[in-house]
A and B are shown apart, each in its own frame.
Chain A
Amino acid sequence: MSETKKKAEKAAKPAKAAKDAAAPAEQTAPEAVATQEAAVQEAATQEAAVQEAAVQEAVAEPAAPAAARSSVRKTYKLYIGGAFPRSESGRSYAVAASTGEFIANAAQASRKDARDAVRAARSAQSGWAKATAYNRGQILYRIAEMLEERRDQFARQIADVEGIELGAAYAQVDAAVDRWVWYAGWSDKLAQVLGAANPVAGPYWNISSPEPTGVVALLAPAAPTLLGLTSVIAPAIVGGNAVVAVAPGAAAVPAVTLGEVMATSDLPGGVVNILTGDTAELAPWLASHLDVNALDLAGVPTGTPLARDLEIAAAENLKRVVRPAAGYDWSADPGLSRIKPFLETKTVWHPIGI
């Protein structure tokens, strides 16, 4: 079988653990994972080899029960404009469990993907802002419903990529669902809590109201994967912004699945865009992009040159910047801390007279 030879030629990779309860088949020793710079052809061949290897392993598995079924594995792509395109660069990188076993090849987003994502976000933003607050709240609540429905799937993914106990993974999923519900309930209350009727000294009616700033670039933390991504996306969009979020490294797996949740939640395409890959590679392009209005540096380590450089780049068009906080506790009550930075305040005057 030529495929087997081909597989042997390439660096041998362990089979991906089956999605269902079937015992993982580990024929070869785990290997270090490295980011690929392969051409499209190489990546495709490798993908095929992996899948082929899986088929081989499943077939050749000595300890499996007689009627072992091969699984159909998901390809992880980017989430841009409501669709799931591959990276225009054709690159991918292997996501492995903390134990080293292969989980999936995630798409490695490029600067052009980032450019496309910003365009998609800008295109979607004004419609999202014009939706009623009620409608936005309903959609965020729907995301929570869809997420709850996939609790088991997410818990397994989180346990795998973060290398934590399944119980802790479930706790993270529950926290993420509850956080979507928390933010859903904010949509139609922000104007009441952050706005004001101002008693100016003259015959003028004067009112201040919050408005979305526009397109926000979010650098999600590497961990906690789902909760961190939720905690940067939900507060940014609840007020009517559209976002481009970078989910780094292994966080790609739950991130793309979260994209699937959003795609089935009536969220208009382009309101949330998810790029998986390398924060250090993508962030400078987003931070310097003149059509991005704000930037959340959560996923960048504090005090590093990168954090400072990104803030300098952002200053070019006076982006609103949220700096990273060392040792930030993502499970703590966030309050309005991630909503307010991405809202502007508009004050309107009108005379009062007959």
Chain B
Amino acid sequence: MANAKSTAKTAVSGIFEYAPAPESRSVVDLKASYGLFIGGEFVEGSGGAFKSVNPATEEVLAEVAMADKSDVDRAVAAARKAYDEVWSKMPGAERAKYIFRIARIIQERARELAVLESLDNGKPIRESRDVDVPLAAAHFFYYAGWADKLGYANLGPDPRPLGVAGQVIPWNFPLLMLAWKVAPALACGNTVVLKPAETTPLTALLFAEICQQADLPPGVVNILTGAGATGAAVVAHAGVDKVAFTGSTEVGRMIAKQVAGTSKKVTLELGGKAANLVFEDAPLEQAVEGIVDGIFFNQGHVCCAGSRLLVQESVAEEVVDRLRERMKTLRVGDPLDKNTDIGAINSAEQLARIQTLTEAGEAEGATRWSAPCELPERGFFFAPTIFTGVSQAHRIAREEIFGPVLSVLTFRTPAEAVEKANNTAYGLSAGVWTDKGSRILWMAQRMRAGVVWANTFNRFDPTSPFGGYKESGYGREGGRHGLEAYLDV
């Protein structure tokens, strides 16, 4: 029994194949078509319709209204009316109770929201169930409690809201990004016109139902589905006092230019190319886990993804070897299977972008390795991939890929680690892995990034401020700091 065996590894399949463990779709009541949510009701849009597709199967999930300029006018007017007549006059303690109700209903309908999110976005049900939906509820809980305590936020004795907030959110965490935007806006006394992403409107529309269940006064929250033009119209609207945008740096730049010269306040949460720094004294097993979490969580569709692994040269080979072994146990496939680790890429367009940049990586001479896995025949899927032999001069080290692709670079000293980590126009997040407390703090002090994770990665909490330096945007979401964006201070 105790004889030495060969070190040849059998394939992971074999003795213990996990049988399919699908989460049931029946908890979701999908309608054939959806209208816009304006003034507390679902109404027909004026700009035609478009389809929302399940990226794992390419089936059409529902038809969704395309809001045009007249719809935007209606929504902003409804938001203004609700602000002037109801919401801005309501005491904070009463606003708080509406927001608490919303938090509770999100918890009550958690399974429904999680399944719908996975269907529409492509992310694994385990993540939407364990991360997206609970965090969304938590955001509403946290900000509900601020509504009657704004005087304690260190922003003045009686800070006032801004008015109507126009909010445009991305497709990577549809419900969670909605929560990040709507919760603080409402807590501070603003009303909202929110445009969910084109490819992921469905949980926002379910959220509209939740607002109705909570008896939220009509017009406080308005949801306009549509594409880029709808978002642009919301941002540009003269009746919008505050603009909040999460998405690409490219669009963020356009928005900043558009609001120039106006009195609109704006916060932007944009792209990133975060460095995940692993020192030779790091807890290696947990660091490998953190690397995996950093770039493969949510299929790498994360603005703060640890898309550059910067590993100290003395342990680089060992770390990358362990990383490859770990990647072999990642399960790519049906998002609704409870054992899936990596779901579908959100759209054909995004898949094409990932493929383009990955090809560039190979063309520029980096070494590509992908985990051996069978990709489903239909749907948009991409195998988790790492590139070694990458340098700062490679496109894949500079441009945001927004997919499950990791670029691996090395460094020799802490100072060099700092230099390489900061050598980017982005500045959203960074990871530092080392056993030494003083080094964690020294590195954190020097990272030009709004979020530094030490010996962990991709940790989010409603109490913890999140946002970027440099071209990753400005403003913070979460925490006491997150109130500032929605107050006239």
Contacts and interface: CB of A to CB of B under 8 A. Distances in A.
Contact flag (A, B; Cβ within 8 A): yes
Interface of A: 133-134, 137-138, 141, 178, 181-182, 184-189, 191-193, 205, 336, 350-354
Nearest to B152: A193
B131 to A, nearest CB: 15
Given A186-B149, A192-B463, A192-B480, A181 B142 contact: no
Contact of A352 (B147, B148, B441, B479): B441
B389 to A, nearest CB: 27
A133 B463 CA distance: 10
A227 to B, nearest CB: 15
B152 A352 contact: no
Given A181-B93, A354-B414, A188 B145 contact: yes
Contact of B479 (A133, A185, A192, A350): A192
Contacts of B147: 185
A193 B138 contact: no
B480 A138 contact: no
A310 B92 CA distance: 39
Contacts of A188: 142, 145, 462-463
Given A138-B141, A193-B152, A353 B442 contact: yes
A185 B438 contact: no
Interface of B: 93, 96-97, 100, 138, 141-142, 144-149, 152-154, 414-415, 437-439, 441-442, 445, 462-463, 479-480
Among A138, A178, A352, residue most surrounded by chain B Cβ atoms (within 10 Å) = A352
24 contacts: A133-B463, A141-B141, A181-B97, A182-B93, A185-B96, A185-B146, A187-B145, A188-B145, A189-B146, A189-B152, A192-B463, A192-B479, A193-B153, A193-B480, A336-B152, A350-B438, A352-B438, A352-B441, A353-B439, A353-B441, A353-B442, A354-B414, A354-B438, A354-B442
Among A133, A141, A178, A189, residue most surrounded by chain B Cβ atoms (within 10 Å) = A189
Contacts of A353: 438-439, 441-442
A331 to B, nearest CB: 13
A186 B141 contact: no
Contacts of A187: 145
Contacts of A182: 93, 148
A185 B480 CA distance: 13
Contacts of A350: 437-438, 441
Contacts of A141: 100, 141
B442 A352 contact: yes
Contacts of B438: 350-354
A137 B141 contact: yes
A205 B147 CA distance: 32
Contacts of B414: 354
A152 B224 CA distance: 42
A271 B439 CA distance: 40
A147 to B, nearest CB: 13
A137 B145 contact: yes
A205 B141 CA distance: 31
Contacts of B96: 181, 185
A185 B439 contact: no
A141 B99 CA distance: 12
B97 A189 contact: no
Report the 8 A-B pairs with minimum CB-CB distance, sorted nearest first.
A185-B145, A352-B441, A353-B438, A192-B480, A354-B414, A351-B438, A205-B441, A352-B442
A339 to B, nearest CB: 11
B453 to A, nearest CB: 16
B36 to A, nearest CB: 32
B145 A189 contact: yes
A351 B436 CA distance: 10
B146 A193 contact: no
Nearest to A179: B93
Given A192-B480, A351-B441, 12 more contacts: A181-B93, A186-B149, A188-B463, A189-B463, A191-B463, A192-B463, A193-B152, A193-B480, A205-B441, A351-B437, A352-B438, A353-B438
B149 A189 contact: yes
A186 B145 contact: yes
Among B142, B154, B445, B479, residue most surrounded by chain A Cβ atoms (within 10 Å) = B142
A232 B148 CA distance: 20
A189 B144 CA distance: 11
B93 A193 contact: no
Contacts of B145: 137, 184-189
A352 B452 CA distance: 15
A352 B100 contact: no
B441 A178 contact: no
B93 A178 contact: yes
A205 B438 CA distance: 9
A183 B145 CA distance: 8
Contacts of A193: 152-154, 480
Nearest to B148: A182
Contacts of B146: 185, 189
A185 B442 contact: no
A188 B142 CA distance: 7
Contact of A185 (B149, B441, B462): B149
B470 to A, nearest CB: 22
Contacts of A133: 463
A160 B145 CA distance: 33
Given A138-B141, A185-B144, A185-B145, A352 B480 contact: no
B430 to A, nearest CB: 16
A182 B100 CA distance: 11
A189 to B, nearest CB: 6
A188 B462 CA distance: 9
A142 to B, nearest CB: 10
Contacts of B441: 205, 350-353
A140 to B, nearest CB: 10
A192 to B, nearest CB: 4
